[in-house]
Amino acid sequence: MSATRPANGWFSRRPVALVGQSVLDRVTAPGVPAEERLGGSPVFAAEAVAAGGWPAVIVTRGGDALLRRPLHGFGLPVVEGPDGRTIVSVMDLHVDGTRCESTASLGEPFTPADVDGWMAAGLAGCAAVVCGAQWRDDFPPATIAALRRRDRTIYLDAQGLARRPRLGPLVLEGPLDRELVRGVTVLKLAEDEAEALLCDVRCSADVALAVPAVVITLGERGAIVVHDGEALRVAAEPVLGLADTVGAGDAFLAVMAAAHAAGSDFVDAAQVACDEVAAILRRRLEVQQSELVGATARPG
């Protein structure tokens, strides 16, 4: 494919805004101690675009300066909102990459006043906005409309659209309210989210929702790009045996947005995203295997 990747003059391109909540993740994974760490779409999106050399700006709220500190290690501008409630996510990761997840605390949604206020400096000059929604009301229609100003393209993660704003175990619920995607350019859904929200309607999803492109990610099997009423398959190189695949969808959507902003069409941009996410997961697998070897070698 002829996907457009960053060139030496990448800094002259219009950046992509990576917008989302900074989440406190409480994680239990096989073979390693339980930990609290920064989660949420901005950290995983920033890791991916920084690794690929794409221009981007991080725009986030939630947590405190200590929790958000890793965001400042990617060499990207960071715009942080006022203090408020923080999402707390509790995750039990399994060896096969699946996980059980629950919500212990909810954050504050992004509002049009935020867009015109503390977010404005980060959004200025951006070609696209990647909205890493955490729950259904995280990016309401009025906020999407505000983000669309100045001809920005909007990438929305449907993860949030499948989650009602409530505490306890995460349950995916549909069907999708079309008003929630009005003005969205690209809607990304994981396979289980597509089944819950769209009843697995693939070939007509973009037409039915009036969204230019709908992308359904299939994990190690790649992705499906639904555009102009056609469903086109994008391949991925499988990365198997990794327990911690958290944030892969956030990384995918951010890279796809950056590649599209740089000139790739939807399908080529999705291919670049699959390749970049596979590279990130391979690096994680190497770290996971190293940690497991180290734990085995330590005396009991």
Would you call 8 helix, strand, or coil by DSSP?
coil
Q: Considering the domain boundaries, does residue 154 fall inside one?
A: yes
What pLDDT was estimated at residue 296?
53
Going by C-alpha positions, the residue among 256, 257, 273, 265 that lies closest to residue 16 is 257
For residue 128, report the phi and psi dihedrals to the nearest 5 degrees: -150, 160
Residue 38 Cα distances to 58, 86, 218, 223, 248, angstroms: 14, 11, 25, 27, 15
Q: How confident is the model at residue 97 (pLDDT cuts 50, 70, 90)?
A: confident
Total number of domains constituting the chain? 1
Other C-beta atoms closer than 10 Å to the C-beta of 19 total 32
**DSSP one-letter code for 14:** P
Residue 154 Cα distances to 34, 80, 258, angstroms: 35, 20, 12
Q: Considering the domain boundaries, does residue 222 fall inside one?
A: yes
Q: Considering the domain boundaries, does residue 2 fall inside one?
A: no
Is the pLDDT confidence value at 298 over 80? Answer: no
Q: Considering the domain boundaries, does residue 120 fall inside one?
A: yes
pTM exceeding the 0.85 threshold for the entire prediction = yes
Is the pLDDT confidence value at 134 over 70? Answer: yes
pLDDT, tens digit (0-9, with 9 covering 90-100), for 139-194? 999 999 999 999 999 999 999 999 999 999 999 998 899 999 999 999 999 999 99
Q: How confident is the model at residue 288 (pLDDT cuts 50, 70, 90)?
A: confident
Q: Considering the domain boundaries, does residue 1 fall inside one?
A: no
Cβ neighbourhood burial of 68 (10 Å; 0-12, 13-18, 19+): buried
Mean pLDDT of 116-128: 96
What pLDDT was estimated at residue 228?
87
- Which residue range is the domain that position 92 belongs to? 11-297
Q: How confident is the model at residue 294 (pLDDT cuts 50, 70, 90)?
A: low
pLDDT, tens digit (0-9, with 9 covering 90-100), for 30-64? 877 889 999 999 999 999 999 999 999 999 999 99
What pLDDT was estimated at residue 293?
56
Is the pLDDT confidence value at 299 over 90? Answer: no
Q: Considering the domain boundaries, does residue 260 fall inside one?
A: yes
Q: Considering the domain boundaries, does residue 4 fall inside one?
A: no
Would you call 162 helix, strand, or coil by DSSP?
helix
Q: Considering the domain boundaries, does residue 164 fall inside one?
A: yes
What pLDDT was estimated at residue 202?
53
The two tokens of residue 115 are 């867009």
CATH of residue 100: 3.40.1190.20
